[in-house]
Structure 1
């Protein structure tokens, strides 16, 4: 069992991360995350199993006469069945053996065979040559020192905190590649808090490691709702990331049978083509140029215009719109360029989403440095299928703009995050504007409710700074034009430098000693 944390002691998840990172040695972070997260998951389900096994073995009360090796006894309690050769006690006893990697791989196989919902999910990477058995044994001992799946740990969501913290640290270690499976927690919390998904179908067609689903369930629990009132639907094109999502959801008891994987992705092979979702929460790849747009020119999802083949931003927006239920809402992250771009018909699609679709409800300008994997400026788009449905006030003739660039705080030199107060300020502003009994006022430099006529005057550009009264020169520019200009300036400076160096060399050659 882990010791209780003293006042000056680091949080458990941070202690575990430091210890695990020491054992990583020369293994790439992208590989190591599957090793560590796989062991954490295995420890969790083994702890849960062992606790229930002990109750069945004691045979008291409702468990009188129960067989502790009967799989049905565990499925009835939503607990994974763990065969004897996969139980943590067995593996920890073998941790110093040279074949421990093979034993862990065999344990993962055995668990998948006994639990259909885990088929193809668990990593079998522990016998690989670059994983030193001594380091693996040390990692098993490390994870074994903490109770992760007993009743007390589950009630405190110990594993949830550890798993989420490790995802964030691995994303940080992987840099750009880490962003493929992880959206920073403060952004996820902001999206969920603004949408308030109390009940209904929650959909993320590019779900990464499942953070949007986890936060949605947390939101329901924190507001005394019933978790069973929401159902989740997801899709992921990267199989290893999908496995992380399935484990992330399983440890929290979230049903994930509708979280699908195929390597074609949501555009080419929509796994939920008939789904109409009450909430869509997503962070698709920014400015994706490799989305097979040339194969989808006449796709039925493009109700507001055919998106350019070289950038998927407006394909994603229309994919989300297509999947919205009649009263559905969406909150998504996109590159800020989508607010202003007019290339390849993007300006016309944006206009159609505003005028014809009446879909755009709110735009939030995000601070810089929130993302681990990119310095591209980002914004949140909130869409509503019916902005006059009686649930909220009629917002059909206006759009709320929030400029949050001045919010957030640096947690290190490269990364910023939004505080709980920042998240509350933004979410409260949206709710007060949207709700019939809200008390909303424009605040210069922060928020503005702009009539569609004003948006039209600005040629359907949606940069919040233009509406709230903040300068937007940092963000509101054509990247291609700016890059070309800076490149030309740099090349001119290189030529000038070469000429100066040549002149200096010629002058030095004339010097006689």
Structure 2
């Protein structure tokens, strides 16, 4: 009799990250954070591909009478579903969760999946048979992850692996000694970048690709707007080996063909795509990194607009991306707010040169508290060699947008993303489909402003949107000035009287305590 399936809880009904934290706790006593993160993420990968496979498998079982074969590999790959061999499926792993050899069984499952997908060769973690990994706890971990449903359609709309990585990084940062600079890009920011750049077809590049979220969202955008998987070519690079593997896994799950290089490598010192000229660049490079080895790259060909300071890589990232832009390409990327105004170590001169070269198309100031792992306020830069409005830059101040999802985390809503991206497309005069924008662009006090070079020069080449958009217009209530002053002064008088009463109460209380004055 086959083992009874455990009840799964959908990610839409459960904060699965809390369950994963419980999972990590199972191994905390005999593995450090850096190691058990690999274990849990490897199992999540297996669970994800297995759930998606099982969902399609069940559909084929229902259609067997129509000639469909649930064990025909082509039935899955033709639908973009990851083919999972029988001994790598979660049902097989969970049936063996109490087996003393569960570690070997999981490693074998990883091997089987790598053999089915050459791109994943050497990527998946095969560390589960290690003698120091408690097999009883590993079995409990398999059972626990088995309660999380990752294969339903609603869950697959989300970048599950990326969200898991983001959460784990925030939890493990202190245990691993990581500094804030390496983190997953929140999905609303990725969606905003993608909606503004509208990458329909061509080469998409991310020089700090993390877990691959930019590519996943780009493919979703293409499909949602009538395109096909494969209309864009994906190129990326990532220096952290763990994250590079995660990106490979993330793309493989979704059937996205991508060139992330043959290994993890430092983008500045080992550019794996030296000849690439991209149509779109989307990136969230690590903020303000000071140990990027800039002193070894002082005469680099990429520094056309000035040598970036060795103590901060922000302007190295900007110029690296410009270097890799095609003649009609556009880059959109996240940077710390300091990049808009810093004059330290020659950064102001580089920014001036970029502006004078008419490369800066748009700057968006974002609200705070958007990231899990850092409270650094950020902005979006858009640079291009092919401006639609020569000599002008669009400034958008979106700091008041967003809603608090938790006490410490803010998210941009669908409406916020639409408002910002619609403003950008109206300013350019074209929709993402390449059609004439339906509404002409207009400056909105307090939100957006199209500024020319003279205005930017007048602000000392500072690009902070708040300097340009002005104050938000206050709606006139049509109350006559004399009437308004009369009731305002009456209100002020009442507040003064209340203040005097409070002062007297405080004095008497202090006197009662022996501190009168």
TM-score, normalised via structure 2 length: 0.78
Query: Is the aligned partner of 1:202 residue 2:200?
Result: no
Contact 1:281 1:331 in 2 (8 A): yes
Using the TM superposition, give the Cα deviation of residue 297 of structure 1 relative to its aligned residue in structure 2, in angstroms. 1.2
SS in 2 for 1:328: strand
Using the TM superposition, give the Cα deviation of residue 139 of structure 1 relative to its aligned residue in structure 2, in angstroms. 3.0
Q: What is the rounded CA distance, in whole Å, between the counterparts of 1:346 and 1:179 in structure 2?
A: 19
Q: What is the rounded CA distance, in whole Å, between the counterparts of 2:67 and 2:233 in structure 1?
A: 31
Please give the root-mean-square deviation of Cα atoms over the aligned residues, in Å: 3.2
SS in 2 for 1:36: helix
Using the TM superposition, give the Cα deviation of residue 156 of structure 1 relative to its aligned residue in structure 2, in angstroms. 4.3
Q: Which residue of 2 aligns with 1:286?
A: 287
Q: Which residue of 1 aligns with 2:500?
A: none
Pick one of 150, 163, 170 that aligns with 2:161: 163
Contact 1:86 1:107 in 2 (8 A): yes
Q: What is the rounded CA distance, in whole Å, between the counterparts of 2:374 and 2:205 in structure 1?
A: 24
Using the TM superposition, give the Cα deviation of residue 160 of structure 1 relative to its aligned residue in structure 2, in angstroms. 4.5
| Aligned length, in residue pairs | 452
Equivalent residues in 2 for 1:43-54, closer than 5 Å: 43-46=47-50
Q: Which residue of 2 aligns with 1:271?
A: 272
Contact 2:114 2:122 in 1 (8 A): yes
Contact 1:362 1:399 in 2 (8 A): yes
Distance 1:440 1:285, change over 3 A: same
Q: What is the rounded CA distance, in whole Å, between the counterparts of 2:409 and 2:52 in structure 1?
A: 36
Q: What is the rounded CA distance, in whole Å, between the counterparts of 1:204 and 1:111 in structure 2?
A: 26
SS in 1 for 2:395: strand
Q: What is the rounded CA distance, in whole Å, between the counterparts of 1:49 and 1:411 in structure 2?
A: 32
Pick one of 23, 39, 42 that aligns with 2:43: 39
Distance 1:405 1:2, change over 3 A: farther
Q: Which residue of 1 aligns with 2:409?
A: 415
SS in 2 for 1:90: helix
Using the TM superposition, give the Cα deviation of residue 3 of structure 1 relative to its aligned residue in structure 2, in angstroms. 6.5
Q: What is the rounded CA distance, in whole Å, between the counterparts of 1:249 and 1:343 in structure 2?
A: 39
SS in 2 for 1:330: strand
Name the stretch that deviates more: 300-309 or 76-85. 76-85
Pick one of 223, 239, 242 that aligns with 1:240: 242
Distance 1:364 1:33, change over 3 A: same
Using the TM superposition, give the Cα deviation of residue 43 of structure 1 relative to its aligned residue in structure 2, in angstroms. 3.0
Pick one of 385, 392, 410 that aligns with 1:398: 392
Q: What is the rounded CA distance, in whole Å, between the counterparts of 2:102 and 2:467 in structure 1?
A: 61
Q: What is the rounded CA distance, in whole Å, between the counterparts of 1:121 and 1:421 in structure 2?
A: 38
Using the TM superposition, give the Cα deviation of residue 133 of structure 1 relative to its aligned residue in structure 2, in angstroms. 2.7
Q: What is the rounded CA distance, in whole Å, between the counterparts of 2:375 and 2:360 in structure 1?
A: 25
Distance 1:421 1:82, change over 3 A: closer
Contact 2:237 2:265 in 1 (8 A): no
Name the stretch that deviates more: 108-117 or 171-180. 171-180
Q: What is the rounded CA distance, in whole Å, between the counterparts of 1:333 and 1:13 in structure 2?
A: 30
Contact 1:242 1:261 in 2 (8 A): no
Q: Which residue of 2 aligns with 1:303?
A: 304
Using the TM superposition, give the Cα deviation of residue 453 of structure 1 relative to its aligned residue in structure 2, in angstroms. 0.7
Unaligned runs of 5+ in 1: 388-393, 472-513
Q: Which residue of 1 aligns with 2:142?
A: 140
Q: Which residue of 1 aligns with 2:182?
A: 180
Using the TM superposition, give the Cα deviation of residue 244 of structure 1 relative to its aligned residue in structure 2, in angstroms. 1.0
Distance 1:118 1:439, change over 3 A: same
Q: What is the rounded CA distance, in whole Å, between the counterparts of 1:110 and 1:158 in structure 2?
A: 23
1:417-442 Cα offsets, whole Å, 9 max, x none, are 21111111111111111115442221
Using the TM superposition, give the Cα deviation of residue 30 of structure 1 relative to its aligned residue in structure 2, in angstroms. 4.8
Contact 1:13 1:162 in 2 (8 A): no
TM-score, normalised via structure 1 length: 0.79
Using the TM superposition, give the Cα deviation of residue 44 of structure 1 relative to its aligned residue in structure 2, in angstroms. 3.8
Q: What is the rounded CA distance, in whole Å, between the counterparts of 1:49 and 1:378 in structure 2?
A: 39
Name the stretch that deviates more: 324-333 or 288-297. 288-297
Using the TM superposition, give the Cα deviation of residue 127 of structure 1 relative to its aligned residue in structure 2, in angstroms. 3.6
Contact 2:200 2:227 in 1 (8 A): yes
Contact 1:80 1:115 in 2 (8 A): no
Equivalent residues in 2 for 1:325-336, closer than 5 Å: 325-336=326-337
Q: What is the rounded CA distance, in whole Å, between the counterparts of 1:221 and 1:209 in structure 2?
A: 20
Q: What is the rounded CA distance, in whole Å, between the counterparts of 1:105 and 1:78 in structure 2?
A: 25
Distance 1:110 1:409, change over 3 A: same
Contact 2:191 2:217 in 1 (8 A): yes
Distance 1:385 1:74, change over 3 A: same
Contact 2:162 2:211 in 1 (8 A): no
1:138-188 Cα offsets, whole Å, 9 max, x none, are 332344456655xxx4x5453855434423432442357586241111111
Q: Which residue of 2 aligns with 1:477?
A: none
Contact 1:30 1:170 in 2 (8 A): no
SS in 1 for 2:167: helix
Distance 1:165 1:270, change over 3 A: closer
Query: Is the aligned partner of 1:467 residue 2:465?
Result: no
